[in-house]
C-alpha cells in the first residue's frame, strides 16, 4: 500500500538551493524531508571544475554536491530518492505524490527544482560537455583566457555571453542561423562595437571535434544554411547560448511565472503567490543562475518557511 509521509516542510530538489534549505530548515528544528528528483545533486553534477564556490578555489562539481548532501543529512534533513510527479497546492496541508507512490503531506513547501540549459542535441556536443563545450560563460569563461572561442545563438543570452567572454578570450566568433540578432538594441550596439567579436551569419553548428585523451575541443564545423558550405573554425571553447528552461512542470499552472516560465517570487523574498509555498534557485532566477545565488535563496526560503510555520502553526 502507498505510504503517506507527513512533514512540516517538504523541499523538492537536491541542487545547491535544496540542500542549503535543508541545512537551515534542519537547524530550525523543522525536520524537513527533501526529495532529490531525477538528478541528485542537480546541475553541478554535470560539470567538472567549479572555481567560484567561496571557500574552494577549485572543487569538482559532483564532489561539492556530495558534500552538500552530507551536510544537509548531518543537520537532520531526511533525504529521499524519489521524483515528485504531482503537486497539489490548492489547500493546506499541501500534497505531493512521488513516482514511488509515496504521498508527502506538508505544511509548507520549498520548490528548488532548478533549470536546464537548452542544448542543440548533437552527439559531439554531448561528448565534449564539460570538456570545452559549456552553456555558462560566468561559470567557465575564465578557463579560456587568451584563447579563441565560439558562441552559438542569436538571442539575448548569446549576445550577453559573447560580450562577457571578451573579458577572457582573444577572439569570440558568434555563430547564428540568421543575419540578425534577437537581442536588446543596447546589447547589439555593444556587440557591434566590440573588436573581439566576429559574427558568422547564416551558419549552424554541425560538429564539435577535438582530442580524446585528454578530452578537449580543438574546433567546430559549421554549415551555411543557404549554401550548405562547411566551414572549419579552430577554437578551444564552444558556448551554446540558446536559452534556459526552468523546471516548472509541477507548478506552471498553479503559480505565477514570467520571463519564459520562471516562478515569480515577491521582491527580496522567496514567497510565491501561494502562502506557504516558497521557490528558490534557478527555478526563479532568469538572471544570475549560479550555485552560490541558488544556495543563498535556499537559505532565504528555509528562514521564510520557518517564520511562516511559526505564525500559522504556532504549536
Ligand X SMILES: Cc1cc2nc3c(=O)[nH]c(=O)nc-3n(C[C@H](O)[C@H](O)[C@H](O)COP(=O)(O)OP(=O)(O)OC[C@H]3O[C@@H](n4cnc5c(N)ncnc54)[C@H](O)[C@@H]3O)c2cc1C
Q: What's the CA gap between 313 and 208, in Å, rounded?
A: 56
Neighbouring CB atoms inside 10 A of 2's CB total 9
Is residue 18 part of the contact set for ligand X (CB under 6 A)? Answer: yes
**Between 121 and 140, how does the x/- string for binding to ligand X read (CB under 6 A)?**
---------x----xx--x-
To which H or E segment does residue 291 belong?
helix 291-312
Q: Identify which range of 33-41, 156-164, 167-175, 264-272 contacts ligand X by CB under 6 A.
A: 33-41
Could you say which of 25, 50, 72, 299 contacts ligand X (CB under 6 A)? 50
139 is catalytic: yes
Q: How far is the CB of 198 from ligand X (least distance, A)?
A: 25
Is residue 44 part of the contact set for ligand X (CB under 6 A)? Answer: yes
Could you say which of 15, 141, 153, 154 contacts ligand X (CB under 6 A)? 15
String of b and e for 258-283 (b: at least 16 CB within 10 Å)? Answer: eeebbbebeeeebbbbbebbbbbbbb
Q: CB within 8 A of 12, min separation 6: which ones?
A: 18, 34, 35, 37, 84, 87, 96, 109, 110, 111, 112, 113, 250
**DSSP-assigned states of every residue in 183-209:** S-HHHHHHHHH-TTEEEETTEEEEEEE
Q: Identify which range of 71-79, 113-121, 162-170, 266-274 contacts ligand X by CB under 6 A.
A: 113-121
Nearer to ligand X, 173 or 290 (CB): 290
State the burial class of residue 192 (Cβ atoms within 10 Å of its Cβ: 0-12, 13-18, 19+): exposed
Is residue 84 part of the contact set for ligand X (CB under 6 A)? Answer: yes
Residue 180 near residue 155, CB atoms below 8 Å:
no
Residue 93 DSSP symbol = S
Label the pairing between strands 49-50 and 59-60: antiparallel
State the burial class of residue 91 (Cβ atoms within 10 Å of its Cβ: 0-12, 13-18, 19+): exposed
To which H or E segment does residue 73 belong?
helix 61-75
Per annotation, catalytic residue among 82, 107, 139, 285: 139
Per annotation, catalytic residue among 82, 107, 140, 282: 140
Is residue 154 part of the contact set for ligand X (CB under 6 A)? Answer: no
Nearer to ligand X, 52 or 100 (CB): 52
Q: How far is the CB of 284 from ligand X (least distance, A)?
A: 8
Binding residues for ligand X, total number by CB under 6 A:
41
Could you say which of 117, 151, 183, 305 contacts ligand X (CB under 6 A)? 117
Q: Identify which range of 6-14, 119-127, 217-225, 255-263 contacts ligand X by CB under 6 A.
A: 6-14
Q: How far is the CB of 69 from ligand X (least distance, A)?
A: 10
Place of cell 547589439: 188
**Between 219 and 258, how does the x/- string for binding to ligand X read (CB under 6 A)?**
----------------------------x--x--------
**DSSP-assigned states of every residue in 143-171:** GGTT-EEEEE--BHHHHHHHHHHTTT-SE
- Active-site amino acid positions: 136, 139-140
Binding site for ligand X (CB under 6 A): 12-18, 35-40, 42-44, 46-47, 50, 52, 83-84, 112-115, 117, 130, 135-136, 139, 247, 250, 281-283, 289-292, 294
Amino acid at each position: 500500500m502507498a505510504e503517506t509521509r507527513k512533514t512540516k516542510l517538504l523541499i523538492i530538489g537536491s541542487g545547491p538551493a535544496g540542500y542549503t534549505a535543508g541545512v537551515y530548515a534542519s537547524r530550525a528544528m523543522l525536520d524537513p524531508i527533501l526529495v532529490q528528483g531525477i538528478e541528485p545533486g542537480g546541475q553541478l553534477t554535470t560539470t567538472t571544475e567549479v572555481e567560484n564556490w567561496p571557500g574552494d578555489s577549485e572543487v569538482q562539481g559532483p564532489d561539492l554536491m556530495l558534500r552538500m548532501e552530507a551536510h544537509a543529512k548531518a543537520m537532520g534533513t531526511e533525504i529521499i530518492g524519489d521524483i515528485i510527479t504531482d503537486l497539489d497546492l490548492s489547500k493546506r496541508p499541501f500534497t505531493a505524490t512521488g513516482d514511488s507512490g509515496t504521498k508527502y503531506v506538508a505544511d509548507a513547501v520549498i520548490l528548488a527544482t532548478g533549470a536546464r540549459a537548452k542544448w542543440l542535441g548533437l552527439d559531439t556536443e554531448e561528448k565534449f560537455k564539460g570538456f570545452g563545450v559549456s552553456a555558462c560563460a560566468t561559470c567557465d569563461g575564465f578557463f579560456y583566457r587568451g584563447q579563441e572561442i565560439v558562441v552559438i545563438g542569436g538571442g539575448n543570452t548569446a549576445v550577453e555571453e559573447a560580450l562577457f567572454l571578451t573579458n577572457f578570450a582573444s577572439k569570440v566568433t558568434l555563430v547564428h542561423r540568421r543575419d540578425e540578432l534577437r537581442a536588446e538594441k543596447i546589447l547589439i550596439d555593444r556587440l557591434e562595437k566590440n573588436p573581439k567579436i566576429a559574427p558568422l551569419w547564416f551558419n549552424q553548428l554541425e560538429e564539435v571535434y577535438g582530442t580524446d585523451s585528454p578530452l578537449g575541443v580543438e574546433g567546430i564545423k559549421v554549415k551555411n544554411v543557404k549554401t550548405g558550405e562547411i566551414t572549419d573554425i579552430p577554437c578551444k571553447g564552444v558556448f551554446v547560448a540558446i536559452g534556459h528552461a526552468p523546471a516548472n512542470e509541477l507548478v506552471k499552472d498553479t503559480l505565477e511565472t514570467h520571463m519564459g516560465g520562471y516562478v515569480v517570487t515577491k521582491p527580496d523574498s522567496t514567497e510565491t503567490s501561494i502562502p506557504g509555498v516558497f521557490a528558490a534557485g534557478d527555478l526563479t532566477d532568469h538572471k544570475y543562475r549560479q550555485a552560490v545565488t541558488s544556495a543563498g535563496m535556499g537559505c532565504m526560503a528555509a528562514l521564510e518557511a520557518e517564520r511562516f510555520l511559526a505564525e500559522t502553526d504556532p504549536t
